[in-house]
Structure 1
């Protein structure tokens, strides 16, 4: 239908509804609800690797890996819970029973990392099977199950959707942690994999139950697991978790992202580094910030009724890291926080990271007088339909319908599950028209039009998600599976000077509608949170005249030489982890005061692509040989990474230590490193790591907290297993400086 006819039809609807009733002003807003992490604490001590979806009954359903929910409890067969407000939760039991779990799984197999989706008229869950009957002993694969409702019953297929992948030496790569994406080409893609082998993407059949063709590797091994992918503004974003998920009080798990114009990659971070290269890239999505939560990762995304994205993830309370005894099962509850899109990249709370204070809850339900679970009650011209197995009553629109109350002006979002008969049009503010007709979706404002083509096999007879959103002068209409970052098509139109007025929302055409929400759009956050900034120089050494005042050695290395304005230090065949406390450390006196920034410039040639475990050099904050945090450029198998690692005594009875690390920034042969120090209200010593590849633009990452008491020493190190390299690489430090922290 031509644009003018759509506008004429919309005006006709306006005339009809104006003749029957006047719009009623919406009631004033109530105090917004809040959440407090961990959101799973009311029903579980641990709820790891969460995924989440909104069911047609209005509940949000969350799923977790098969850890026991409480200390001493039995292992589950993956878990389910649901909420309507993200404040109160109901535990629903396990996904499988012993009778319904996959018949092709080995008896001792675990089931991990569920990924929940909805398409083709049913719920589809992908999950890890750690061991199959085909090769008992450890050949992980990806399973799939379907259900008519989000709480089951779940029926598995008779084999894996992604089979175990042999590594060529008698073992198997880590085919774990699945995540589905439906892309604009109409195809379904499943991402999976882990540190051993890297992440790959596999095309699936239309029903999502079978692999098609050969997988494409999208990240290098030894860096990422816990994949998740979303589409936004023309880009496919691949996210993955890195470092150890489960190192108790030294867990440094974090999430990073890259993006591509293709769901098959290559995925590149904000600095231009690829995620599949040895000097591996990744832009920080979430990392620990020095509060109680460490190791945030293995996440999923949701979008609430106000268009605000949220990250759902697990993390560890550094004060109570174990579900069982030390070095047993980690306590990983479920958390949630806002995602802000800043300069094209997803950042948790604009870069602030995990929250430990009350935060605004996801917006659920509808404004404009609409009950989202019984939408016909808030509409003129809609007929109430009886519910089905997926939810409660729906609204049937045949010809024309309108909200009984006015929608907000300015920025507004209208979203619903829809089952379409033929063309269907949404009108906002009397001037913005979004239509789905034939093979296209379109946005029409005056004489301006933008369209996008739906996939050839798009099934309008099934339930799909339709959203129409106006933010400022930009209108976006999107059709996808279930609102989880996927898409079938998206049309976007920028209209200079557009000012949407408050008016009822109107619909033309034929459709069945459920989960209908009309909401003002959440105010977007467009700037990153403040990061440490270096002020005036307090003290330092440029290595111009040997080691200046304030230096002292622990286990002096005679091979370290100061000459030509540099400290040149061949990497020692030594280490600091566990009982291997034989590496030399060079300390410098720290400034007085409760905050400062230490900085060094390091040059270290670690090559690319070969194994040099674990050559490294950088800065260290040190209490003793079993209690320190070190920031280094490090070789980890075939990758080159920057790692902010932590060791501490995790079991007092025998002094057993735990070590873990948090990745940060982009590695390079020449790097600048900073440790920003402050003392918190509890008197603890907090160090936040920052890196740069040019000394100007800084990437700030994870924080580690050392116990209260005397200020730890700060210094330099250069060590790691040489793995036969002769002569050893030389770490060259240009200076060590201490600045005021602004």
Structure 2
């Protein structure tokens, strides 16, 4: 096909996206611009090695400390744009020149990993993300730039910079790693540092940084593996982020975070601005990831105003003294709100369910997050959890945390009849009196969003056996065109994936025979990266054709003749012709006469 035809197609795709974005008006769109500077940042040292994670409705940012001072600074934000300085979360002398601090929440404690001056690691712990953090270990070495990852079965992994690239080791606990490290295959043929690992669709992804921190060629690569220990295979298109000339150069040491809409992903990284008073002067940057099947690209680096991350359709932090008009209660129990603790319920000692639900309702495809914990001694069959896809008292789903059995159970009530979709064991040290996050990804029947299909996850989030699927209400079988697809995560550990008959509806909280406390709750009508198809792309830059507008045929796009999608491909089924690539991504087949 001649260049002119490709240009016409590109213009068609871009104009379709532009026409569907009439609201809000451009002047009303909130924006941010790279690089980001913040009040109270380290003078002439900036915001190097930025790490962001989310907890109970807020994001928390930690950065490296310059070489002459002790203490680690922290900021918080409700939306990744408006940041509030929260002070030093520790002032322990051990944190002098604390490099690349990262924090992970587990069972009521926040664990911080840092390598002061790059001379081995310490772990600090706290009951709050803003501290105070206390030193909990001696220096246990392992060079620099630690990052942790927890798999679906609750196993912890420790990643760090080694002489031959990124190395990894299993952890004994959040405070201990004694296993020898092994190379992961993530290597840039030179000094390689700054690993970050996450899991998506049963594949493990790592981003990592190479070259020298004072080099304009500092850059970010990505790799993928079938195991958390590797070997990791580098992306064919590496680096995923680099710029050696222009407004921002020397880009590296990133973290990754899910946006406020619960669906988008952002890469957080720093840029080099030159030598500071002590060490390099760097500032924070943020750009969005876009998924194409099993691969991703980064829409950056940008240095012009960008639309602020999308907010959820509904969210509540319960930072007031009453439930308010957005909520409906039913069943047994006395509901209340404490602005410092969240919503709560005093449930009677009976199997009857106390239920709190939103007045607003999701669409059939959505993502929802919940924070729950118990507040009374557990009895047999007592439970606390989240409600989803609520249509009425006879039709809704629940995710239960059950202290007595140490399990998660997923149930579905249809026409008043309840069935068990699946269950999974929770870690032996799971403390039900502490905050736990429940995440539900609910894909509408006939669609997988921007992801491949999944089978059932049995006990401990692993692939279920045929017998286990039958016991779980046949939830292990492949989803049919008439079934929704549900994934359930507890503290980021996937504990269930399979079909269900639920659709859109209200979300909320529930308890039975147990007093409960409930925190941040939110939902958006996007799932599995479905928002990637309609979001603004920075130009100059690349717009992948598979991300054509989500709207209807004949309105957002138009095909002259009906195209047939490859039946084996779950991405955007029934849409225009797609073909798979060897790297797990997809391409849009555009042939003469199709458009």
Structure-1-length-normalised TM-score: 0.53
User: 5 Å matches for 1:352-363?
Assistant: 353-363=300-310
The answer to whether the 8 Å contact 1:123/1:150 transfers is: yes
The answer to whether the 8 Å contact 1:376/1:395 transfers is: no
Q: Give 2:120's aligned residue.
A: 141
The answer to whether the 8 Å contact 1:223/1:243 transfers is: yes
Q: Give 2:389's aligned residue.
A: 428
Q: Give 2:131's aligned residue.
A: 152
* Deviations 1:114-160, CA, capped at 9 Å, x for gaps: 011111212111001237xxxxxxxx211110112112111002402
The answer to whether the 8 Å contact 1:428/1:506 transfers is: no
Q: Secondary structure in 2 aligned to 1:152? A: coil
The answer to whether the 8 Å contact 2:63/2:72 transfers is: yes
2: CA distance between counterparts of 1:369 and 1:451? Answer: 27
User: 5 Å matches for 1:177-326?
Assistant: 177-194=145-162, 196-206=163-173, 208-219=174-185, 220=187, 222-247=190-215, 251-270=216-235, 283-288=238-243, 292-316=247-271, 321-324=273-276
The answer to whether the 8 Å contact 1:409/1:503 transfers is: no
Asked if 1:479 corresponds to 2:427, the answer is no
User: 5 Å matches for 1:565-604?
Assistant: none
User: 5 Å matches for 1:404-483?
Assistant: 404-420=358-374, 422=383, 424-430=385-391, 433-436=397-400, 437=402, 438=405, 439-442=407-410, 444=412, 449=421, 452-473=424-445, 475-481=485-491
Q: Give 1:65's aligned residue.
A: 64
**Cα deviation, residue 233, structure 1:** 1.1
2: CA distance between counterparts of 1:193 and 1:145? Answer: 20
Q: Secondary structure in 1 aligned to 2:60? A: strand
Q: Give 1:82's aligned residue.
A: 76
Q: Secondary structure in 1 aligned to 2:130? A: coil
**Cα deviation, residue 237, structure 1:** 1.4
The answer to whether the 8 Å contact 1:146/1:154 transfers is: yes
**Cα deviation, residue 244, structure 1:** 2.1
1: CA distance between counterparts of 2:159 and 2:420? Answer: 38
Q: Secondary structure in 1 aligned to 2:233? A: coil
**Are residues 43 and 110 of structure 1, via their aligned partners in 2, closer, same or farther at CA, if it must alter by over 3 Å?**
closer
The answer to whether the 8 Å contact 1:187/1:204 transfers is: yes
* Deviations 1:426-480, CA, capped at 9 Å, x for gaps: 2215366242355244375978946554344433332111111223335443334
Q: Secondary structure in 2 aligned to 1:60? A: strand
The answer to whether the 8 Å contact 1:228/1:300 transfers is: yes
Q: Give 2:37's aligned residue.
A: 40
Q: Secondary structure in 1 aligned to 2:282? A: coil
**Are residues 526 and 316 of structure 1, via their aligned partners in 2, closer, same or farther at CA, if it must alter by over 3 Å?**
same
2: CA distance between counterparts of 1:329 and 1:266? Answer: 34
Q: Give 1:640's aligned residue.
A: none
Q: Give 1:340's aligned residue.
A: 290
The correspondence for 2:104, drawn from 90, 110, 117, is 117
**Are residues 307 and 461 of structure 1, via their aligned partners in 2, closer, same or farther at CA, if it must alter by over 3 Å?**
same
The answer to whether the 8 Å contact 1:65/1:111 transfers is: yes
The answer to whether the 8 Å contact 2:222/2:238 transfers is: yes
The answer to whether the 8 Å contact 2:51/2:254 transfers is: yes
2: CA distance between counterparts of 1:472 and 1:283? Answer: 34
Asked if 1:163 corresponds to 2:163, the answer is no
**Cα deviation, residue 306, structure 1:** 1.8
Structure 2 unaligned regions, length at least 5: 1-22, 348-352, 446-483, 545-581, 586-595
Q: Secondary structure in 1 aligned to 2:281? A: coil
Please give the root-mean-square deviation of Cα atoms over the aligned residues, in Å: 3.7
* Deviations 1:606-633, CA, capped at 9 Å, x for gaps: xxxxxxxxxxxxxxxxxxxxxxxxxxxx
**Are residues 316 and 419 of structure 1, via their aligned partners in 2, closer, same or farther at CA, if it must alter by over 3 Å?**
same
**Are residues 289 and 245 of structure 1, via their aligned partners in 2, closer, same or farther at CA, if it must alter by over 3 Å?**
closer
**Are residues 503 and 80 of structure 1, via their aligned partners in 2, closer, same or farther at CA, if it must alter by over 3 Å?**
closer
The answer to whether the 8 Å contact 1:256/1:286 transfers is: yes
User: 5 Å matches for 1:570-649?
Assistant: none
The answer to whether the 8 Å contact 1:42/1:88 transfers is: no
Structure with more of its chain in strand, by fraction = 1
The answer to whether the 8 Å contact 1:310/1:362 transfers is: no
**Are residues 518 and 29 of structure 1, via their aligned partners in 2, closer, same or farther at CA, if it must alter by over 3 Å?**
farther
Q: Which of the two has higher C-alpha Rg? A: 1
2: CA distance between counterparts of 1:369 and 1:146? Answer: 29
The answer to whether the 8 Å contact 1:192/1:227 transfers is: yes
1: CA distance between counterparts of 2:123 and 2:65? Answer: 16
2: CA distance between counterparts of 1:441 and 1:289? Answer: 51
Q: Give 1:595's aligned residue.
A: none
The answer to whether the 8 Å contact 2:104/2:111 transfers is: yes
**Are residues 55 and 524 of structure 1, via their aligned partners in 2, closer, same or farther at CA, if it must alter by over 3 Å?**
closer
The answer to whether the 8 Å contact 2:149/2:197 transfers is: yes
**Are residues 508 and 359 of structure 1, via their aligned partners in 2, closer, same or farther at CA, if it must alter by over 3 Å?**
farther
**Are residues 211 and 367 of structure 1, via their aligned partners in 2, closer, same or farther at CA, if it must alter by over 3 Å?**
same
* Deviations 1:222-265, CA, capped at 9 Å, x for gaps: 25210111111112212211222222xxx122222222232212
**Are residues 506 and 87 of structure 1, via their aligned partners in 2, closer, same or farther at CA, if it must alter by over 3 Å?**
closer
1: CA distance between counterparts of 2:234 and 2:346? Answer: 45
